[in-house]
Structure 1
Amino acid sequence: MDKNQLGVQYMQEGNYEEAAKAFNAAIEENPTDPVAYINFGNVLSAVGNDEKAIKFYQKALEIDENAAAAYYSIGNIMFTHDQFDEAKNMFETAMKKGLESADNYFMLGLTLVQLDKSRFALPYLQRSVELNEEDAEARFQYGLCLAQLELIDESMVQFEKCIELDPGHSDAYYNLGVSYAFKENSTKAIEMFNQALENQPDHLLAGHAKKLIQNMQ
């Protein structure tokens, strides 16, 4: 098996030490392969060494400035450190360099939401869902973005689909409850809040919203 493939397999198993060895061997075998540097960076990031990971992504870009996955990986690190402007630039560059992945569209959309640009985020989150229809979290974030833009009916469709994919998604139930409350369907709203609380008994927002509606009845 190719050493990069072997390393990816180890990473999927959570065996980062063996993954690092495999990627290091891949780099030694072919020091001009940007993929091995990106993979090694991913291992470093997974174990919390983001600073060193970025150096490996930058090395990959020195070898090949069109290595789209390196821009995406740097973007992820920027996002986790709340550097949203930098993250946005990285995800956009990854897209321009040809990375047509659901994950890149999702992260770009999420970053734009963090930058209070929900209207601009919407098409990217929509595209993410189109590319990976089975991603419950992408459905949820797309629904949330629709709700923020007051597209309530459309958002409810996404929350429903999210729950189909992940019946334990408490926040999707909560947001469905809020949507039903907005539509003045208090019975259905309480049903959704109850489901959120069943999944997550300490869901404070659902508990508070349920009491609020009950007090108004």
Structure 2
Amino acid sequence: MDKNKQGIELLQAGNMEKAIQLFTEVIEENPKDPIGYVNFANVLISVGEIERAESFLNKAIELDDQVAASYYSYGNFYFNQEKYEQAAGMFEKALTNGMDSNDVYYMLGMCFSYLGKYPLSLPYLQRSVELNEEDIEARFQYGLSLAQSASYKEAIAQLEKVIEADPHHADAFYNVAVAYAMTGADRDQVLSLLDQAITIQPDHLLAVNAKKTVMENQE
């Protein structure tokens, strides 16, 4: 098996020591291949060695500034530090250099969501869902951004698909209830959805407080 692939599998399995050993060998054997540096940086990010990780990412880009994986990893590097503006810039460079996976669109959309720029997040989250319709989290976040952009009917459609795929998704029940409320839906329908969220997650404070508010408004 290719050492890069083997190292990635070890990283995913949590075997950091062995992954580091393999990626070190990759770099020693192919010192001008940026992918080895990217993979080593990903290990360093996983173990919290941020400064060293950045130096490896910079080395990868120095070797070849058109490798999308370098920018994607750099985006994650910034995202994990909650530096969403910088992360978005790196994910955009990954797109520019040919990356076309649902992951990069999802991460770019999430950057804009965390920055409160929900309308900007929409095309990226939509594309993420289009590329992988089974990605429930991407669809959920797309639904949230639609709701935050006041596109309530479209949000409801997406959140109901989330519930269909995962009937135990308490946050989806809560958010679809809120979206229905914003469209002037019947209160019993809203309460029913909130009850389902609370049944799934009894300590869902947002749902509990929303139910309390709806019931108080009925009195």
TM-score tier (shorter):
over 0.9
Task: Give the count of matched residue pairs.
Answer: 217
Q: Which residue of 2 aligns with 1:100?
A: 100
Q: Which residue of 2 aligns with 1:25?
A: 25
Aligned: 1:180 with 2:163: no
* Structure 1, unpaired ranges of 5+: none
Q: Which moved more, 1:159-168 or 1:53-62?
A: 159-168
- Amino acid aligned to 1:195: Q
Q: Which residue of 2 aligns with 1:122?
A: 122
Give the TM-score of the pair, scaled to structure 1: 0.94
Aligned: 1:9 with 2:6: no
Matches of 2:177 and 2:91 in 1, distance apart?
A: 33
Give the CA RMSD over aligned residues.
1.4
Identity over the aligned pairs, expressed in percent? Answer: 50
Compute the displacement of 1:205 (Å): 0.5
* Structure 2, unpaired ranges of 5+: none
- Amino acid aligned to 1:10: L
Matches of 2:186 and 2:72 in 1, distance apart?
A: 42
Given that 1:69 and 1:94 are in contact with CA atoms closer than 8 Å, whether structure 2 keeps it comes out as yes
Matches of 1:168 and 1:16 in 2, distance apart?
A: 33
Change (3 A) 1:61 1:119: same
Q: Deviations over 1:163-217 (max 9, x none)?
A: 2333332211110111222233222212221222222221111000011112222
Aligned: 1:192 with 2:193: yes
Given that 2:152 and 2:180 are in contact with CA atoms closer than 8 Å, whether structure 1 keeps it comes out as no
Aligned: 1:210 with 2:215: no
Compute the displacement of 1:80 (Å): 2.2
Aligned: 1:35 with 2:45: no
- Amino acid aligned to 1:120: L
Q: Which moved more, 1:148-157 or 1:183-192?
A: 183-192
Compute the displacement of 1:53 (Å): 1.3
Change (3 A) 1:51 1:152: same
Change (3 A) 1:89 1:168: same
- Amino acid aligned to 2:193: M
Per the alignment, in what secondary structure is the counterpart of residue 122 of structure 2?
helix
